[in-house]
Amino acid sequence: DTGVSQDPRHKITKRGQNVTFRCDPISEHNRLYWYRQTLGQGPEFLTYFQNEAQLEKSRLLSDRFSAERPKGSFSTLEIQRTEQGDSAMYLCASSLVAGPSTIYFGEGSWLTVV
Amino acid sequence: QKEVEQDPGPLSVPEGAIVSLNCTYSNSAFQYFMWYRQYSRKGPELLMYTYSSGNKEDGRFTAQVDKSSKYISLFIRDSQPSDSATYLCAMKSSSGSRLTFGEGTQLTVNP
């Protein structure tokens, strides 16, 4: 399977703990995106990378959130000092820069903060 | 006001019906329009992609874009129970990178 891969698929954590999600994009895609989706809502943009450079961050991405994409390959999204409001599905997506740049999503990582 | 408005439903139809799903938007810079299908607790799956105005057909699915009215539609012909899912419209500008989504319409096709 050469789609977008995310790990872990589910995470339950206690409030105040740190969590990290990993995303492996489609291999030839140089853009990588993180979105957040809560129940009954569409995905909301968090941030994106072109190769290893983080080019845009949403105001939704508070200082407790940090994303990295070392060497322009996989990416990690870390949430520090988790809060109950962080409970959501975190979606990773990837695309090419050139052409129509259609965006393909992974299966998501579900986070529950208790 | 949200940039993209989508009726959340739920929408329930009998098998074989024609389904019409719609979104309106306010940002005239949007040039690329997509429809994603999302099954429960899964990631969105790209169904249709169109650029600017016009129609695009793929099997039982037809996407329409009317930029003058800022209105896009997805039609599903001969709907099947396997089409039961949430349908998300999404769009972006030609210079932008991020997608802006509607909140999704939950569709149930009853056998």
The torsion angle over the Cα atoms of residues B72, B76, B82 and B88, rounded to 10 degrees, is 0
Q: Per-residue pLDDT tens for B15-72?
A: 999 999 999 999 999 999 999 999 998 999 999 999 888 899 999 999 999 999 999 9
A20-30 pLDDT, tens digit per residue, is: 999 999 998 99
Cα(A103)–Cα(B41) distance, integer angstroms? 19
List CB contacts (< 8 A) between B45 and chain A: 105
Whole-number Cα distances in Å, A39 to A94, A110, B47: 22, 11, 21
Q: Kindly identify which residue of chain B lies nearest to residue A40, measuring between CA atoms.
A: B103
The residue of chain A nearest to residue B50, with distances taken between CA atoms, is: A100
Task: Write out the residues of chain A at the interface with chain B, using a CB-CB cutoff of 8 A.
Answer: 4, 6, 31, 33, 35, 40-45, 48, 55-56, 58, 89, 91, 100-108, 110
CB-based contact A40 B104, cutoff 8 Å: yes
Identify which of A31, A100, A110 has the shortest CB distance to residue B51. A100
Report pLDDT digits (tens) over A43-78: 999 999 999 999 999 988 889 999 999 988 999 999
Calculate what percentage of chain B has a pLDDT beyond 90.
83
Looking at CA atoms only, how far is residue B61 from chain A in angstroms? 18
Residue B102 CA to residue B24 CA, distance in Å, equals: 9
Please give, one letter per residue, the 3-state secondary structure of chain A. Answer: CCCCEEECCEEEECCCCCEEEEEECCCCCCEEEEEEECCCCCCEEEEEEECCEEEEECCCCCCCEEEECHHHCCEEEEECCCCHHHCEEEEEEEECCCCCCCCEECCCEEEEEC
Put simply, whether B5 touches A (Cβ < 8 Å) is no
Asked if the model's pLDDT at residue B79 lies above 60, the reply is yes
Distance from CA of B2 to the nearest CA of A (A): 12
